[in-house]
A and B are shown apart, each in its own frame.
Chain A
Amino acid sequence: MAAEKMCFLDKNRHIMIAVDESENAKRALLYVAEFLGGVPGFCVSILRIIPEPPVDYFKTDEERSEWIKRNKTEASTMLDNYRRILVQSGFGENNVEPLTEISSCPSIADCILNERQRLNCDTLVIGRRGISKKEEFLFGSTSSKIVHSARNCAVWVIE
């Protein structure tokens, strides 16, 4: 909600960078920092989707809660770090918003696209893992799905 307000009020272009712990995601963020850092008129939401673990994956609810807590903490640390990188590259302190969402969607791509739509971002930036065809077949490729399914926004896929 904070990100929504931040960009709406300033009438900035709103960019969403979807990240995880991978190097590819970091590359996507660094690309935006290098490309747009210091350029006025942009705000950035850094989004980390934590896929909600199935309720029946863990032996107990406590284990599940612990897993979520641990992942939220790790995501928060990572996003703070990424926020600092963007601010250091020239984005305004108030124009970078870290977002962690625990979401349950058929795919991570769906979760990212839902968030993009909710926040009405103009541009979606993602890294590409470069997974094998087999892996894409078995578990799906987030970047491929986003490229195929995104509507009403630009998509930057960073190699």
Chain B
Amino acid sequence: MREMALGGHDLRDIIARWVAPSSVPATPRIVTDISDFFKVDYDDVVILDGRPYFMRNYEREGRFGIDDEPKFWVRRAIDLTDGSTKIMKMVFHEQFQAKVGDITFDCVRSPRKEAIILDMVKGHPNFMQGFSVNDPAGNIIRIIDFIEGKTLADHVLELGESHEDYFYTFFPSVLSEYTDLVKAIRFLHEHGEKHGDIRRDHVIKEKNTGLCRWIDFDFNYMNAGNMFGYDLFGLGNILVYLTGRGDITLQGLKKEPSPVLDQLTADDMNIIFNNRLVNLKKVYPYIPDALNVVLLHFSMGANTFYDDTEQLLMDLNEVREIIAL
């Protein structure tokens, strides 16, 4: 334990500026080396580059249908110099096989990648903002501005009385936001980086500004045939989800039961997740052909795929012109 003073002030007094008196610990512990993130406890004060952070709970993440999976290396913290809430991402060198449908590939969690991208996207409205700092042991710690808001996925579920109402009233602006998100990914690709883990819960719609921001870009994998392919797959999944105002699954259609079930073929389904419908026009006939054609690039029946974000953006621009009419 280090002495409990910082810049001549008692640490407890500094903490008391930002939290309720009942939340001020009796003897806050100062931590500088956070090589073992399990040893950083609630109520500890982590000092990085001379800046004190009051540690709070770890973050959780819904993933593959399992909600609230704890991410012990990702902690909420209060920056004691200004009281702002931060997300502190500590170093967790994870190496694993990512599984997408029935395809597996080697993946790593790279703090270095996220640190590089944080620098790259400084000031960009469609990315989470923050910076990286090394602790005395050389661990790359990322300090990220907390984004208050919902995921874009949760946000769209609340829009519209019906899908038709959603599509005509809200979807044009949702599509505009989505286009900005694709442009943001194009920005990464143009700078030789990839997001690496594009999922619908990795976009947060910021409450105060309404901006949609990409989060969590520490996944990395060895570039294969096309280094952007996996990102494009993620972008396609999000577009289908936004267009359908949620996943339209075979199970869901059977449950209704939907009259279109008999008209569906394997070609109408997502190329990787075969239970998800991509040919949404069969369920929602008012979806314009131009948009449905974009969606079908991500279907089992597709004969051509998007090679890069530019191709996708060109098609999206056409769709936006039609939808705006």
Contacts and interface: CB of A to CB of B under 8 A. Distances in A.
- Real binding pair: yes
Interface of A: 51, 53-57, 59, 104, 106-109, 133-142, 145
Contacts of A108: 224-225
Given A104-B192, A137-B272, A145-B307, A57 B225 contact: no
B83 interface: no
Contact of A138 (B189, B223, B229, B307): B229
Contacts of A59: 93, 112
A136 B305 contact: yes
A133 B304 CA distance: 10
Contacts of B32: none
Contact of A107 (B101, B102, B225, B272): B225
Contacts of B320: none
Contacts of B110: 56-57
Which of A53, A104, A107, A145: most chain B CB closer than 10 A?
A107
Which of B193, B225, B227 has the most chain A CB atoms closer than 10 A to its own CB?
Answer: B225
Contacts of B193: 54
A142 B226 CA distance: 8
Interface in B201-227: 220-227
Contacts of B66: none
A106 B116 contact: no
B93 A140 contact: no
Contacts of A142: 225
6 contacts: A53-B222, A54-B113, A54-B223, A134-B271, A137-B272, A139-B226
B20 interface: no
Given A54-B222, A138-B100, 8 more contacts: A107-B227, A133-B271, A134-B102, A137-B302, A137-B305, A140-B307, A145-B225, A145-B226
A54 B112 CA distance: 11
Interface of B: 93, 100-103, 105, 108, 110, 112-113, 115-116, 189, 192-193, 220-230, 233, 271-272, 298, 300, 302, 305, 307-308
A108 B226 CA distance: 7
Nearest to B272: A134
Contact of B224 (A56, A134, A140): A140
A50 B221 CA distance: 15
A57 B227 contact: no
A142 B192 CA distance: 19
Contacts of A109: 225
Contacts of B227: 106-107
A138 B230 contact: yes
A51 B93 contact: no
Contact of B108 (A57, A133, A136): A57
A55 B105 CA distance: 19
A80 B305 CA distance: 37
A134 B113 CA distance: 27
B312 to A, nearest CB: 13
Contact of B103 (A51, A106, A135, A141): A135
A140 B271 contact: no
Given A56-B110, A134-B271, A136-B305, A141 B116 contact: no
Contacts of B226: 106-107, 139-140, 145
Interface core residue of A54, A55, A104 (most chain B CB under 10 Å): A54
A53 B307 CA distance: 20
A56 B113 contact: yes
Nearest to B223: A51
Contacts of B115: 56
Given A57-B108, A104-B192, A140 B113 contact: no
Nearest to B108: A57
B101 A134 contact: yes
Given A53-B222, A133-B271, A139 B192 contact: no
Nearest 4 CB-CB pairings of A with B: A140-B226, A140-B225, A56-B113, A139-B224
Contacts of B305: 136-137
A136 B297 CA distance: 13
A134 B225 CA distance: 13
Nearest to A141: B225
Contacts of A133: 271, 300
Nearest to A131: B225
